[in-house]
Amino acid sequence: MKTKQLGNSDLEVSVVGVGCMMFGSMCDQETTTSIINTALDEGVNFFDTANIYGAPPGTSEQFVGKALGDRRKDIILTTKFGAGSGGRGGSVEGGGTRDYIMSCIEKSLQDLGTDYVDLYQYHFPDTDTPAEETLRALEDLVQQGKTRYIGCSNMTGAQLQEANDAADAAGTSKYVSAQNWYSLLTRGIEDDLVPVAEKANVSIIPYFPLESGLLTGKYRKGQADPEGSRLAKWGGAFKTDEKMDQVEALIAYAESIGRSMLDLAMAGLTNRSFVGSVIAGVTKPEQIRSNVAAGNVELTDEQLAEIDRICK
């Protein structure tokens, strides 16, 4: 498994990570443990969860902690704070305040069964709380050894710049990563967030890289979604006529160069210099093996350009 340095940190992350959102909801402890064992066998070292994942919230962290056990020291573990219920409602009220952050880290560390995380991520920005207050609280966690580095998620380019300026003024640690929705089909951050991140050496951590399965190749235009699939349940923003037209074009191009749709979807991100680790939610061990194989694919500049032409 190829690795990359995450932003300005000394963390070397596998270019394919494990998104742990399904653990504790769609995956029980046994399945979670099997997935994590497979990931470790495949050379994956980056595991991304959040305090709201699972049913009830926190179950994902508990399952991950139990599955890792003594191997926790061998991996890069990240969790998040500051999201509303289910992560779909944006920030929670007061999610960037010092008191909230301090209570969240203690609960997450307890649930994960560890005394530190490698990366603590601000899940959704709380626009009512000054960036400096949030950063000072996170700096205290760094100084206390409860997190090695800090990251952000779902920020715009302007919000990341504001945070960088606030960190400079306050003399605190800066975010080393920015986790946002990014795939071959959802690319708005390329014109907004990415330029700011590249200038500050902040790595992008894409979530929804497979568009909830749309970019695996098993969904075709004019055909019914597989019964019980995540896309059949969620659909919505993932499955639009425009995206389905792009999917069909990508499938045709993948076949023309002897690659799979999954190869293009994963390698089309891992081959970009500003991307750190690509996290896809998984529910089966075999999905990890497929994602790792696809993420290790090397695409030429010409192939990336053709993918961009199709998708832009």
Q: Would you place residue 69 in the very low, low, confident or very high pLDDT band (cuts 50, 70, 90)?
A: very high
pLDDT value of residue 232: 57
Encode pLDDT of 111-123 as tens digits: 999 999 999 999 9
pLDDT value of residue 234: 55
Which tokens in the block code for residue 180? Answer: 């946002």
Mean of the pLDDT values across residues 253-260?
97
Rounded CA-CA distance 44/124 in Å is 26
Mean of the pLDDT values across residues 76-93?
85
Strand ranges (E), the chain: 3-5, 12-14, 16-19, 46-48, 76-81, 117-122, 147-153, 175-181, 203-207, 278-281
Radius of gyration of the chain (CA): 19
Rounded CA-CA distance 20/31 in Å is 12
Mean of the pLDDT values across residues 191-216?
96
What is the residue type of 229?
Answer: S
305, pLDDT greater than 70: yes
Structural domain spans, the chain: 3-213+267-299
109 compared with 243, residue with greater pLDDT: 109
pLDDT value of residue 312: 82
Encode pLDDT of 258-290 as tens digits: 999 999 999 999 999 999 999 999 999 999 999
The catalytic residue positions are 53
Using alpha carbons, list the distances in angstroms from residue 25 to 52, 58, 167, 285, 288: 11, 10, 36, 16, 18
Mean pLDDT of the chain: 94
Mean of the pLDDT values across residues 205-234?
76
Rounded CA-CA distance 252/241 in Å is 17
Q: What is the pTM of this model?
A: 0.94
Q: Backbone phi, then psi, for 149, in 5-degree steps?
A: -145, 170
| 3-213+267-299: in CATH 3.20.20.100 | yes
187: how many CB neighbours lie within 10 A of its CB?
14
